[in-house]
Structure 1
Amino acid sequence: MKMARACPSVSMMMTDSGCKIYVFGGCGVDFADSSTWAEVFDVSTQTWDFLPVATPQMPLSIRHSVVMVEEEEVYVVDEYGYNFSFSPSKCMFVARGKIDSMPGFIYRNDWCVIGTFLFCRGTRGRILWCLPYDLRWKEVKGLKDLKKWGSDITKLCISPAGKLVIFWKPHPPSMELHSTEISVSCVKRKRNRQEIWGKIEWSGAVFKHEPVTDSSYSFDVLYANYVYT
Structure 2
Amino acid sequence: MRVARASAAANVVDGKIYVFGGCKEFDSSNWAEVFDPKTQTWDTLILPDLEICKNTSMIEKSVVIEDKVYVVDEEEQCFYYMPREGIWRRGIRDSKLGNRKDWCAIGKLLYCYGTRGKILWCEADELDRCEAEELNWREVEGLGILQFGSKACKRGIEESLAWKLHWTMNSFSRLSSNSRGNIVVFWKVLIPGTGKLQLWCAEISMERRSQGGGVCGTIEWTDAVSGLGPNSYTVKVLYSVSLNV
Q: TM-score range by the shorter chain?
A: 0.7 to 0.9
Distance (whole Å) between structure 2 residues aligned to residue 220 and residue 23 of structure 1: 24
Opposite residue 116 of structure 2, the aligned amino acid is R
Partners of 1:34 and 1:58 within 8 A in 2: no
Shift of 1:85: 1.9
Structure 2 unaligned runs (5+)? 127-134, 151-164
Opposite residue 26 of structure 2, the aligned amino acid is A
Partners of 1:36 and 1:52 within 8 A in 2: no
Distance (whole Å) between structure 2 residues aligned to residue 117 and residue 184 of structure 1: 10
Aligned to 2:153: none
Q: Verify: 1:22 aligned to 2:21, yes or no.
A: no
Change (3 A) 1:107 1:36: same
Aligned counterpart for 1:203 among listed residues 200, 222, 237: 222
Q: Verify: 1:46 aligned to 2:40, yes or no.
A: yes
Point out the structure with the larger helix share. Answer: 2
Aligned counterpart for 2:85 among listed residues 73, 84, 90: 90
Aligned to 2:154: none
User: How many residue pairs align between the two structures?
Assistant: 211
Partners of 1:54 and 1:91 within 8 A in 2: no
Change (3 A) 1:93 1:169: same
Distance (whole Å) between structure 1 residues aligned to residue 225 and residue 39 of structure 2: 37
Partners of 1:73 and 1:87 within 8 A in 2: yes
Point out the structure with the larger strand share. Answer: 1
Partners of 1:64 and 1:77 within 8 A in 2: yes
Structure 1 unaligned runs (5+)? none
Change (3 A) 1:203 1:48: same
Shift of 1:20: 0.7
Distance (whole Å) between structure 1 residues aligned to residue 87 and residue 96 of structure 2: 26
When the two chains are superposed, the root-mean-square deviation of aligned CA atoms in Å is: 2.4
Distance (whole Å) between structure 2 residues aligned to residue 161 and residue 24 of structure 1: 29
Aligned to 2:132: none
Change (3 A) 1:138 1:44: same
Q: Displaced runs of 4+ in structure 1, greater than 4 A?
A: none
